[in-house]
Homo-oligomer: A and B are copies of this chain.
Amino acid sequence: MQLSRIIIGDGLNIENIVKKKNLKLTSARRELLEILFYAKNPLSYEDIKENIVMDKATFYRNIIKFEEENIINSFESNDKKRYFEIFQQPHPHFVCSRCHNIECIKERLDFNLEGYLVENIILKGLCKVCNKTSI
């Protein structure tokens, strides 16, 4: 909710975004973008499918389009699934190996890795909640 405001700015709604990219605004696309805009964490197809009425193929074809147009970005977790979120500033993600939650990490992780170009960071382990309750 706040996220979508921050990213798309005032006056930019789903209609504007989709049309600005020369995509047709279908009900499938509106549904999908609404869910992603209001999500606090990245979501997989499995997370979303209960709340949408489109076919799986339509889902993935729209996901591909949205990624091409930089409306969303995605990454693979360690559960064989791909997770999607509205495109933001690149930031790390944390995958909890106990509760399987996936969180966006706001903190900057500063390290230097000479010669490489790091585009994406995925951390796995215990999230704050699970780490506390693990004695």
Contact = CB atoms under 8 A, between A and B. Distances in A.
Number of copies: 2
Interface residue tally on A, bucketed by range: 20 to 34
Interface of A: 75-80, 94, 97, 105, 107, 109-111, 113, 115-128, 131-132, 134
10 contacts: A80-B80, A94-B116, A110-B111, A116-B123, A117-B126, A120-B123, A121-B123, A122-B122, A122-B123, A122-B124
B131 A116 contact: yes
Given A76-B80, A78-B76, A116 B127 contact: yes
A107 B131 CA distance: 25
Contacts of A94: 113, 116
Contacts of A121: 121-124
Contact of A115 (B97, B116, B131): B131
